[in-house]
Amino acid sequence: MQSPLADRLRPRTLAEVCGQQHLLGPGRVFRKAIESGRVPNMIFYGPSGVGKTTVARIIAENSGMRLHKLNGTSAGTGDIKAVMAEIGTFQSRNGLLLYLDEIQYLNKKQQQSLLECMEDGTVTLIASTTENPYFYIYNAILSRSTVFEFKVVEPAEIERAVQRAFIYLEEERGERIVPEEGVIPYIAQACGGDVRKSINAVELCVLASPMPA
């Protein structure tokens, strides 16, 4: 089964990410920290579809560390222990990086289980949340991490993603796709700053359009 278009189009470099220039722009503290080669413990906070997961994956995949991905909606204590079991093994010789999406769904005890390895640096945590971290994340985790806020993406930035989605589908399907005038800015405006939603809208438009004769 084919993955959603938003996943197929997920940016592979920070330069391809739409918006978030207050973090990703040249000379910004966040960008300089990432490019230094030393990934700190970080928490990404912001609404859905604005690039939190994408940026975390780009950082993780370029870190050289052993990467583990968990989602707070489905991960249990056993999953966290399985990650910790790799500490000190050959696979983790360059360090372990745990990418934890939707961390707010882990209970306090589960979050506490991460503290010791964060403290001694054997595991680096990148976590993301759509909820205010100062209410939903355990204080000891916050004190060992830097919180970065991701903002709603401006329509002008989203238009880039919408145009790219139409071009990608045109190449994938091997047929000419020409959006009517005003369609691209309309989608960019109507998606409420959510890049993923805008790309899903493009996919629906194409799928619902009549096939060429």
Please answer whether residues 149 and 45 qualify as being in contact, where contact means their C-beta atoms are separated by less than 8 angstroms.
yes
Between the alpha carbon of residue 212 and those of residues 149, 176, 177, 178, 182, the distances in Å are 44, 9, 10, 12, 21
Q: What is the pLDDT of residue 211?
A: 60
Of residues 87 and 70, which shows the higher confidence score? 70
The dihedral over CA atoms of 185, 186, 191, 196, expressed in degrees to the nearest 10, equals: -50
Strands 123-129 and 146-149: unpaired
Q: List phi, psi (to 5°) of 87.
A: -60, 130
Maximum Cα interatomic distance, the chain, rounded to a whole number of Å: 64
Tell me the average pLDDT of the chain: 87
Question: Over the stretch 30-58, which tens digit does the pLDDT of each residue have?
Answer: 888 888 778 889 999 999 889 888 888 88
Provide the pLDDT confidence category of residue 210 given band limits of 50, 70 and 90: low
Checking phi first, is residue 123 left (phi over 0); if not, alpha (psi -120 to 50) or beta? Answer: beta
Provide the pLDDT confidence category of residue 212 given band limits of 50, 70 and 90: low
Q: List phi, psi (to 5°) of 164.
A: -65, -35
Q: What is the pLDDT of residue 133?
A: 93
Question: Over the stretch 127-162, which tens digit does the pLDDT of each residue have?
Answer: 999 999 999 899 999 999 999 999 998 998 899 889
